C-alpha cells in the first residue's frame, strides 16, 4: 500500500502520503471512541463483531474506486528487502517513530488508568485523543510538507511528540494528560508517512524495495516497542519506561535531515 502511495504521489506530482495515513488514524480514532462508548453496554465479542460488520459495509462499495493494477508495475519488491546504505538511516528513524507510536497505542490507556484510577472507557480516551491528533496532523501534513520541507516538518513533529508525551507523564490532572496525548499525536503523525515516502525515492529504480526496507525496520519497531516498554515497566514503572519514547522522539528530531529525500517528486 505504501508503494502504491508513492505511485499516486508521482502521478499527481504532489505529496499525498500523509493524507493516506490520515485515513488510518481516523479509523483508529473512530474505533477507540466507539469502543469507549460501547464496551460498557455490550460484550467484547459483540463489540468485535459490530466493528467487523461496519468495516465490511464501508469496504465493499470502495472496490469500484480501485486503480488498475498496472499503476503498480515495477513497484513490488522481490522477496525480503534488506536495508541498503541508502535506506538504513531512514529505516532506523522509522523504527524509532513506530516504537513511539506503538508504545502510546498499547500503553497510554494503562498509563492513564494506573496514574489516575480511571474507568477503562475513560482511559481509552487517551488513545482516542492521540489518534485524533495524528489524524489532524496527517490531513494537514501534505500541505505542510510543501511549505516547510520534509526535514523541518519531521524535526518539529518529533519535538511535539516528545513534549506532549512528557507532559502526559508528569501532569497531575487526567484531562490535561489526555489533551497532551493529542499534542503527541499531532507531533508523531507525519513522521512515519514522510519516512515511508523517502524510502521509495532513495531507490528510484526499485521504489518498492526501498519502501520495503524502511517499512520492515519501521514495523519491527511497532511490534518490538510495546513489549520492550512492558519489560522496562516491570523494572522501573510504566511512567519511566514511557520516558524512553520521549528520548526516541528527541533522537528523531536531531536526525531529521535524513528525511529530506521525501521532498523529491
Q: How far apart are the first and last CA of the chain?
A: 18
* Average of per-residue pLDDT across 199-209: 70
Q: Which of 11 and 169 is assigned the larger pLDDT? A: 169
Q: Which of 36 and 236 is assigned the larger pLDDT? A: 236
Looking up cell 494528560 gives 177
Angle at Cα 189 formed by Cα 239 and Cα 245, nearest 5°? Answer: 25
Residues above pLDDT 90, as percent of the chain = 39
* Average of per-residue pLDDT across 94-118: 93
Q: How far apart are CA 265 and CA 261, in angstroms?
A: 9
Q: Which of 113 and 202 is assigned the larger pLDDT? A: 113
Q: State the pTM of this model.
A: 0.77
Q: How far apart are CA 177 and CA 116, in angstroms?
A: 10
Tell me the CATH number of domain 2-263, given options 1.20.1250.20, 3.40.605.10, 3.40.50.720, 1.25.40.10. Answer: 1.20.1250.20
Q: Which of 247, 237, 245 is nearest to 103 (CA)?
A: 245
Question: Cell numbers of 210, please?
Answer: 526501498
Q: Do 142 and 16 meet the contact criterion of CB atoms below 8 Å apart? A: yes
Q: Which of 72 and 265 is assigned the larger pLDDT? A: 72
Lowest mean pLDDT among 25-39, 47-61, 219-233, 235-249: 25-39
3-class SS of residue 140: helix
Q: Do 102 and 222 meet the contact criterion of CB atoms below 8 Å apart? A: yes
pLDDT at residue 205, as a whole number: 66
Q: What is the mean pLDDT of the chain?
A: 85
**Residue 264 — pLDDT band, cuts 50, 70, 90?**
low
Q: Taking each helix axis as running N to C, give the angle between helix 238-254 and helix 150-170, from 0 to 180 degrees, rounded to the nearest 10.
A: 160
Cα–Cα distance list, 60 to 5, 24, 57, 64, 213 (Å): 20, 17, 6, 8, 31
Residues of the chain by 3-state class (helix, strand, coil), percent to 5: 85, 0, 15
pLDDT at residue 64, as a whole number: 86
pLDDT at residue 78, as a whole number: 55
Residues above pLDDT 70, as percent of the chain = 91
Amino acid at each position: 500500500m505504501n508503494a502504491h502511495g508513492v505511485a499516486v504521489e508521482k502521478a499527481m506530482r504532489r505529496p499525498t502520503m500523509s493524507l493516506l495515513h490520515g485515513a488510518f488514524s481516523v479509523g483508529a480514532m473512530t474505533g477507540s471512541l466507539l469502543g469507549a462508548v460501547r464496551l460498557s453496554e455490550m460484550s467484547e465479542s459483540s463489540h468485535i463483531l459490530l466493528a467487523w460488520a461496519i468495516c465490511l459495509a464501508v469496504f465493499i462499495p470502495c472496490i469500484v474506486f480501485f486503480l488498475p493494477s498496472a499503476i503498480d508495475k515495477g513497484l513490488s519488491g522481490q522477496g525480503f528487502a534488506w536495508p541498503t546504505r541508502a535506506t538504513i538511516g531512514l529505516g532506523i528513524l522509522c523504527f524509532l517513530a513506530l516504537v513511539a507510536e506503538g508504545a502510546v497505542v498499547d500503553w497510554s490507556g494503562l498509563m492513564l488508568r494506573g496514574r489516575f484510577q480511571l474507568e477503562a472507557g475513560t482511559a481509552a480516551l487517551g488513545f482516542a485523543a492521540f489518534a485524533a491528533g495524528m489524524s489532524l496532523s496527517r490531513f494537514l501534513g501534505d500541505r505542510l510538507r510543501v511549505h516547510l520541507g520534509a526535514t523541518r516538518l519531521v524535526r518539529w513533529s518529533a519535538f511535539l511528540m516528545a513534549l506532549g508525551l512528557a507532559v502526559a507523564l508528569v501532569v497531575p490532572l487526567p484531562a490535561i494528560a489526555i489533551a497532551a496525548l493529542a499534542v503527541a499525536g499531532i507531533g508523531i503523525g507525519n513522521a512515519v508517512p514522510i519516512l515511508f515516502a523517502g524510502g521509495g525515492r532513495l531507490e528510484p529504480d526499485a521504489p518498492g524495495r526501498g519502501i520495503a526496507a524502511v517499512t520492515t525496520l519501521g514495523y519491527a519497531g511497532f511490534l518490538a516497542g510495546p513489549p520492550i516498554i512492558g519489560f522496562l515497566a516491570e523494572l522501573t514503572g510504566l511512567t519511566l519506561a514511557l520516558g524512553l519514547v520521549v528520548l526516541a522522539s528527541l533522537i528523531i528530531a536531531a536526525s531529521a535531515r535524513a528525511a529530506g529525500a521525501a521532498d523529491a517528486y
